[in-house]
Amino acid sequence: MQDYQASAKVSCAPERCFRALTRDIALWWTTRTDGAAEDAGAEFTVHFGRTFKTMRVAELIANRTVVWRCIDSHLDLDTLENKSEWTGTDIRWEIEASENGARLSVTHVGLNRSIGCYSACEKGWDFFFMTSLIPHLEKGIGRPHPQTSQST
């Protein structure tokens, strides 16, 4: 099964992408963020109402790679039997310098059609990647939760 993937060319420096994934998570994903993501081994939690995901920074290569490993989660979706489906998954961010900017890619390793939250989480990632993170990088205007009704 193919894991969730998205990528986009952005008109900003790789350093800005790296900062968004390590220091500015509250500006594009959710304003309810606890902890830190600036160092390998650091842990942070993102909250979406009663849904939460706790991440450990598993890998950092400045301006190139950020990997978050989900170490705990609760997905508040009525249709899910396993409300901790994100636990044990990795979110891998790759940043490549390109002409006039960077290419930013995300792969959520373990988030695929075999798990119950895939449809809702795919929609959430699509929104937060394209409609919040990319505008945050290019214009400084993200749309983090709770300004939206998305739940990823």
Percent of the chain with pLDDT over 70: 96
Residue found under tokens 């995901």: 53
Could you tell me which residues are beta bridge partners of residue 147?
none
Could you tell me where the DSSP H helices lie in 23-140? 118-126, 134-139
Q: Rounded to whole angstroms, what are the CA distances from 54 to 9, 43, 91, 137?
A: 28, 7, 12, 24
Dihedral over Cα of 59, 112, 8, 23: its sign? negative
Mean of all residue pLDDT scores within the chain: 95
Model pLDDT for residues 6-36, shown as the tens digit of each residue: 999 999 999 999 999 999 999 999 999 999 9
Q: What is the model's pLDDT at position 149?
A: 44
Mean pLDDT of 135-142: 97
CA distance 43 to 53: 10
Helices (H) and strands (E) in the chain, counts: 3, 7
Mean pLDDT of 100-118: 97
Would you say residue 100 has pLDDT above 50? Answer: yes
Q: What is the model's pLDDT at position 2?
A: 96
145 by DSSP, 3-state: which? strand
Model pLDDT for residues 52-96, shown as the tens digit of each residue: 999 999 999 999 999 999 999 999 999 999 999 999 999 999 999
Give residue 31's Cα distance to chain centre: 13
What is the largest distance, in Å, between two alpha-carbon atoms of the chain? Answer: 46
Question: Taking the CB of residue 85, how many other CB atoms lie within 10 A of it?
Answer: 22
Question: Taking the CB of residue 145, how many other CB atoms lie within 10 A of it?
Answer: 25
Would you say residue 152 has pLDDT above 80? Answer: no
50 by DSSP, 3-state: which? coil
